[in-house]
């Protein structure tokens, strides 16, 4: 296939002629994105802080070994809490209508590098009993800390607080709009590259290494009905305008 070289005028004419492709594809991608975001619902996140130090004074300095020990304990507790049934007794005791696996899959833990403070996060698509659930998990954590590390004095620094997270409903349509334009432009260029027809005098001059004196005529056909019962080309009067 011959190499196709474009100039600005040809590109302008090409996109002007195929502009409907840009409109259709962009409209489709944007519409799908708008439909998707219309189904998005807000999510909820709750967090609490637990102090795991061995002193009542939170300003005490802890060695790196102690901080590493606390961090390892939280990692172990995080893994154990994901075992099905581990939190069942705690949830039943606090009259929380959720399964242990459901709660554990929505929990996450993070420990501070410089202080024995643990952040516990609980996320869900419903705010039902979120505070009660996270507070129950904090109580279970404190009980386990006292049981395994008797010398510690774990304390809840801040109880569960629920925050509403609203989805960004403008970002996805904007991305879909831009993607639709890019895809349609790429499709137009590919279709034009595969189209071997000669559409202009300049294209003909590129194919034939001689100057072209004339231009390719355009034939326009107008079908006129002789009567109201004409329904096809055979029964219509054909007028051809244009010439060589």
* Residue 204 banded pLDDT, cuts 50, 70, 90: low
Residues 15 and 56 in one domain: no
Q: Using CA atoms, how far apart are residues 159 and 132, in angstroms rounded to an integer?
A: 10
Q: Are 200 and 10 in contact (CB under 8 A)?
A: yes
Look up the CATH number of the domain holding residue 93.
3.30.70.1130
The number of CA neighbours under 13 Å toward the Cβ of 49 is 9
Average pLDDT over every residue of 153-176: 87
Residues 81 and 161 in one domain: yes
155 DSSP 8-state letter: E
pLDDT at 7 (0 to 100): 66
Q: Please give the residue that has the higher pLDDT: either 243 or 74.
A: 74
Give which of 116, 108, 127 is closest to 42, Cα–Cα. 127
Residues 143 and 54 in one domain: yes
Greatest Cα pair distance, the chain, in angstroms, is 105
Residue 119 lies in a domain: yes
Residues 110 and 58 in one domain: yes
What are the residues whose beta carbons fall under 8 Å from the beta carbon of 35, sequence distance 6 or more?
A: none
Q: Are 177 and 26 in contact (CB under 8 A)?
A: yes
- b/e map 100-119, b = 16+ CB within 10 Å: beebbebbebebeeebbbbb
* Residue 95 banded pLDDT, cuts 50, 70, 90: confident
Q: Which of 133, 165, 197 is the last residue of a domain?
A: 165
Residues 45 and 161 in one domain: yes
Residues 14 and 122 in one domain: no
Q: Are 160 and 138 in contact (CB under 8 A)?
A: yes
At 241, give phi and psi (nearest 5°).
-110, 150
Is 66 buried (19+), middle (13-18) or exposed (0-12) by CB count in 10 A?
A: middle
Residues 56 and 87 in one domain: yes
* Residue 217 banded pLDDT, cuts 50, 70, 90: low
Residues 30 and 46 in one domain: no
Residues 201 and 103 in one domain: no
Question: 158 by DSSP, 3-state: which?
Answer: strand
Query: Is the whole model's pTM more than 0.85, yes or no?
Result: no
6-55 per-position pLDDT tens digit: 567 778 888 888 899 999 999 999 999 999 998 888 889 889 888 887 76
Residue 234 pLDDT > 80: no
Tally of structural domains, the chain: 2
User: Which of 50-54, 113-117, 192-196 is the least confident region?
Assistant: 192-196
Residues 105 and 141 in one domain: yes
Residues 143 and 116 in one domain: yes
227 DSSP 8-state letter: S
Q: Are 210 and 67 in contact (CB under 8 A)?
A: no
Q: State the residue range of the domain holding 69.
A: 41-165
pLDDT at 1 (0 to 100): 44
Highest-scoring range by mean pLDDT, 36-45, 79-88, 138-147: 36-45
Residues 176 and 161 in one domain: no
Q: Which two tokens stand for residue 82?
A: 């994901």
Residue 213 lies in a domain: no
Give which of 140, 118, 143, 122 is closest to 131, Cα–Cα. 122
pLDDT at 130 (0 to 100): 85
Residue 231 pLDDT > 70: no
Q: Mean pLDDT in the chain?
A: 77
Q: What is the CA radius of gyration of the chain?
A: 36
Residue 91 lies in a domain: yes
Residue 98 lies in a domain: yes
Average pLDDT over every residue of 52-71: 73
Say which residue the tokens 């409209």 belong to. Answer: 27
């Amino acid at each position: 296939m011959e190499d196709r070289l474009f100039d600005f005028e040809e590109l302008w004419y090409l996109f002007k002629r195929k502009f409907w492709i840009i409109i259709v594809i962009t409209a489709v991608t944007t519409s799908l994105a708008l439909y998707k975001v219309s189904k998005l619902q807000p999510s909820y996140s709750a967090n609490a802080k637990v102090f795991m130090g061995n002193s009542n004074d939170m300003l005490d300095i802890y060695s790196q070994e102690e901080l590493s020990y606390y961090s390892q304990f939280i990692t172990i507790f995080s893994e154990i809490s994901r075992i099905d049934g581990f939190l069942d007794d705690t949830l039943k005791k606090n009259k929380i209508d959720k399964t242990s696996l459901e709660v554990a899959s929505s929990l996450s833990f993070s420990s501070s590098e410089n202080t024995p403070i643990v952040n516990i996060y609980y996320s869900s698509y419903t705010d039902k009993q979120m505070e009660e659930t996270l507070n129950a998990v904090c109580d279970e954590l404190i009980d386990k800390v006292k049981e395994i590390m008797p010398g510690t004095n774990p304390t809840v620094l801040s109880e569960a607080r629920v925050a509403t997270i609203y989805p960004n409903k403008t970002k996805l349509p904007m991305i879909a709009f831009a993607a639709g334009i890019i895809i349609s432009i790429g499709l137009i260029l590919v279709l034009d590259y595969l189209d071997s027809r000669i559409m202009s005098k300049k294209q003909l001059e590129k194919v034939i290494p001689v100057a072209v004196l004339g231009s390719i005529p355009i034939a326009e056909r107008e079908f006129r009905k002789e009567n109201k019962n004409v329904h096809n080309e055979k029964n219509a009067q054909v007028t051809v305008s244009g010439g060589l």
